[in-house]
Amino acid sequence: MAGQYWRFAGLTYLEYINLSGSHLRNCLKEPFKAAAKNREQMFSTYTTYQNGKELSSITLSMPDLAAPKK
């Protein structure tokens, strides 16, 4: 059970890993920090099809995905 301190802190494993990665990226020096920031960008495409043809396509970036839905 040694090493599972994230459970005692009330975190899930994914929260713990995200927090650890964030702290690690903040410790990097500038040329490496900029490269790490570019790698964390995420995009997703949502496409609607009807009868095998594309009706609409929406590209979402990371801020759009993180925003709370209303």
Position with higher pLDDT, 22 vs 62: 22
User: CB-side exposure of 68: number of CA atoms within 13 Å?
Assistant: 1
Q: What is the pLDDT of residues 27-55, one digit of tens each?
A: 889 888 888 877 777 778 889 999 999 99
Rounded CA-CA distance 53/20 in Å is 43
The Cα–Cα gap between 58 and 64 comes to: 11
Q: Given this model, what pLDDT does residue 48 score? A: 92
Residue 23 in tokens: 């702290």
Residue ranges of domains in the chain: 5-66
